[in-house]
Amino acid sequence: MAQSLAGPEIERLIQLLARMPGLGPRSARRAVLHLMRKREELLAPLAEAMRVAAERIVTCTTCGNLDTQDPCTICRDPRRDRSIIVVVESVADLWALERAAAIRASYHVLGATLSPFDGIGPEDLALPRLVERATSGEVREVILALNATVEGQTTAHYITDLLSEAGVKVTRLAHGVPVGGELDYLDEGTLSAALLSRTLV
Ligand code: ZN
């Protein structure tokens, strides 16, 4: 094991930060050094913000989003179209769609996608609550905003079957040419999908 270069408190901070996605031990050491140098203006406020967040973060019992209130800020927003539910795999996907600001609907976070090889079955996904919401009478469309992977598409098919009797329109994201994409650079799968999901101009 590498020799410690700082006290145990600092080493612990480095170890914890190194577990963050996108940070390894090297970046974590650099970040901790930066925090130590800026302890008044950065380390202390960050520690306080994290303490408050750790106390208050809850999972929204309606949609599965993470927030400091339940129902979450999105579920409470009166300007949202509650007749549309956008189904996503993770909170990260929900946040990505919100950043795009293309739709002001409500969401449903599944928590995972079906993956028999990894032992992830329907019981591991937040499906009963989705069916409950979709059949509440308020919802007219469920948009499946799932990854264009085998797992994402398997899950989309499963949910489409599950909601076939719910009396709601089930749609999915288009597959095709990315904005700014050049045809010459696309893989065959993306090109075929784009041709199959062509639309009238
Ligand atoms: Zn919510």
66-172, which class in CATH? alpha beta
Ligand 1 geometric centre to CA of 190 (Å):
33
Ligand 1 geometric centre to CA of 66 (Å):
8
Ligand 1 geometric centre to CA of 110 (Å):
12
Q: Mean pLDDT over residues 61-65, rounded?
A: 96
Q: Counting runs of H as helices and runs of E as strands, what totals does the chain give? A: 8, 6
Alpha carbon distance 105, 87 (integer Å): 10
Ligand 1 geometric centre to CA of 64 (Å):
6
Ligand 1 geometric centre to CA of 135 (Å):
17
Residue 197 near residue 175 (C-beta atoms within 8 A): yes
> pLDDT, tens digit, for every residue of 83-132?
999 999 999 999 999 998 888 999 999 999 999 999 999 999 999 999 99
Whether the upstream peptide bond of residue 71 has omega within 30° of 0, thus cis, is yes
Ligand 1 geometric centre to CA of 67 (Å):
8
Maximal CA-CA distance, the chain: 65
Alpha carbon distance 144, 118 (integer Å): 22
SS3 at position 83 = strand
Ligand 1 geometric centre to CA of 178 (Å):
29
Ligand 1 geometric centre to CA of 22 (Å):
27
Q: Mean pLDDT over residues 13-42, rounded?
A: 94
Ligand 1 geometric centre to CA of 96 (Å):
15
User: Helix, strand, coil: what percent of the chain each, to 5?
Assistant: 45, 15, 40
- How far CA 108 is from CA of 13, 21, 44, 144, 159, in Å, comes to 34, 24, 35, 10, 12
35 pLDDT higher than 90: yes
Q: Mean pLDDT over residues 44-71, rounded?
A: 96
Domain residue spans in the chain?
A: 66-172
SS3 at position 170 = strand
Alpha carbon distance 196, 24 (integer Å): 42
Which residues, at least 6 apart from 32, have a Cβ–Cβ distance to it below 8 Å?
10, 13, 14, 17
Q: Categorise residue 101: left if φ over 0, alpha if ψ from -120 to 50, beta otherwise.
A: left
DSSP summary character for residue 171: E
Ligand 1 geometric centre to CA of 71 (Å):
5
Ligand 1 geometric centre to CA of 26 (Å):
37
Ligand 1 geometric centre to CA of 159 (Å):
20
Q: What is the pLDDT of residue 63?
A: 97
Q: Is the pTM of this model over 0.75?
A: yes
Q: What percent of the chain has pLDDT over 70?
A: 99
Q: State which amino acid sits at residue 125.
A: L
Mean of per-residue pLDDT scores for the chain: 93
